[in-house]
Structure 1
Amino acid sequence: MPREGEPRYRAIATDLAAKIRGGFYAPGSALPAQRDLSTSYGVTLMTLRQALRQLSDEGLIVQQPGRGTFVSPPHLAYRLGSLRSLTDDLRDQGFEVRTTVISAALVDDALRLERVREFRGRPSIHQISWVAPPHAAALVDVDFTTTALYTALSTIGVPVVRATETVSPAVLPEPSQVYLREPPNTPVFISTRVTYTLDDTEVVSDRAVILGSAMEIKAERAATALSLTWSGFS
């Protein structure tokens, strides 16, 4: 029951938040349709949407146009400061990551590797990597559904020592829409990374489109270092 003088939408948000935190609505699950919720609480759609907006601002739910309202899944973290792969970082945290290889083929002696990363059945990252010759040919037959690209390079004697990476906000580009199953105006991050070997030769050029509703960027600053991480939702 709402406290005296408390706006109705705020009481609804408090009730829904308690159910989310208590596990009544599981992480990643869909909330009932807005019309059903408004009926069960005995309020108008406008009042219900005010409550949902508050939950969204608190990071408890994610609203996906045309699909519904979902409970925010647990946070993930990707250490941008390391040369490990995103998949390795997430698996170390106990998250199940599924990789689907769209294509892996030689193009002008370079390997073009296209993959989709899924967390708990939700496609979240569309990634295209180019491996420069002469190393590309040795990787054509690698099973990249289970083997990380950096691991494959190390196996053939090509260690990587540094990388430059730029992350920019954008909206979902057309080529990625079919793989991430989201509309054109969906917010995303676009990560472009170039990785180098010990002799400073460029070996991998990588571009990843990452759903903005799946991850966010956080930074931890200390007196002697700056640690950047991806954190977000699966």
Structure 2
Amino acid sequence: MHILLRSLVDDLRKQGHEVCTAVAGRAVRRAPARIVAELRLRPGDTALRLERVREFAGRPAVHQVSWIRRPVADRIRDRDFTAVSLYTALADAGVTVARASEVVRPGLLGPAAARHLHKPQGSPVLVSSRITYTLDATPVVSDHATILGSMMEIRTERAATGISLTWGATS
């Protein structure tokens, strides 16, 4: 039995929230320099760019762009990402993800995300940048999510044995 790494949407659903996903774009493209570096690709390599919008509490709340390295991307490219999480699709394709490294920072809403989230450009947001790694430490997904700070919050529980972090709706 494999334990799946959970995504933001998985965490929200586990907490009892309804989250809907719309796929805004999906294409194999030449990876930009930042993605080449994050996924340790060669310049000129292609990867699958998967763009999604997450609705939470009936409103668009998250604009997410994931880059998936090939050949893994070729095995999941045609999955229905409105119904299946990226991590589940990877597991179904035989890819075991071991860990992810994520940084969440405050930011301002850029023009592309503003169009998808129906908020004015420059609105305050949380920006999540995450790299997901396989068991052999190969980076397989580079993920960038723009999260409306007015709709989401991060909660932590700290103890001598470690830290627990969850996402939730703002109160």
Classify the TM-score, shorter chain: 0.7 to 0.9
The SS at the match of 2:83 is coil
User: 2:10 aligned to 88, 93, 96, which one?
Assistant: 88
- Residue 190 of structure 1 corresponds to 127
Percent of aligned pairs sharing the same letter: 56
| Structure 1 runs not aligned, ≥5 long | 1-81
Q: Give 1 or 2: higher helix fraction.
A: 1
* TM-superposition CA deviations, 1:13-58 (whole Å, max 9, x none): xxxxxxxxxxxxxxxxxxxxxxxxxxxxxxxxxxxxxxxxxxxxxx
Q: Could you tell me how far 1:177 is from its partner in structure 2?
A: 0.5
Q: Could you tell me how far 1:233 is from its partner in structure 2?
A: 3.2
Alignment of 1:158-169 (within 5 A): 158-169=95-106
Alignment of 1:49-128 (within 5 A): 83-108=5-30, 109-128=46-65
Instruction: Kindly report the root-mean-square deviation, in angstroms, between the aligned alpha carbons of the 2 structures.
Output: 1.5
Rg bigger for which structure? 1
The SS at the match of 1:153 is helix
Per the normalisation by structure 1, the TM-score is: 0.63
**Given the alignment of the two structures, is residue 153 of structure 1 paired with residue 90 of structure 2, yes or no?**
yes
Per the normalisation by structure 2, the TM-score is: 0.85
Q: Which amino acid aligns with 2:26?
A: A
Q: Could you tell me how far 1:231 is from its partner in structure 2?
A: 2.6
Q: Give 1 or 2: higher strand fraction.
A: 2
What is the alpha-carbon distance in structure 1 between the residues aligned to residue 50 and residue 86 of structure 2?
9
Q: Which amino acid aligns with 2:111?
A: E
What is the alpha-carbon distance in structure 1 between the residues aligned to residue 51 and residue 17 of structure 2?
22
> How many residues end up aligned between the 2 structures?
153
What is the alpha-carbon distance in structure 1 between the residues aligned to residue 120 and residue 29 of structure 2?
30
Q: Which amino acid aligns with 2:25?
A: S
What is the alpha-carbon distance in structure 1 between the residues aligned to residue 11 and residue 168 of structure 2?
11
Q: Could you tell me how far 1:229 is from its partner in structure 2?
A: 2.1
**Given the alignment of the two structures, is residue 135 of structure 1 paired with residue 72 of structure 2, yes or no?**
yes
* TM-superposition CA deviations, 1:165-198 (whole Å, max 9, x none): 0000011111111000011231100000000001
Q: Which has the higher contact order (CA 8 A, sep 6+)?
A: 2
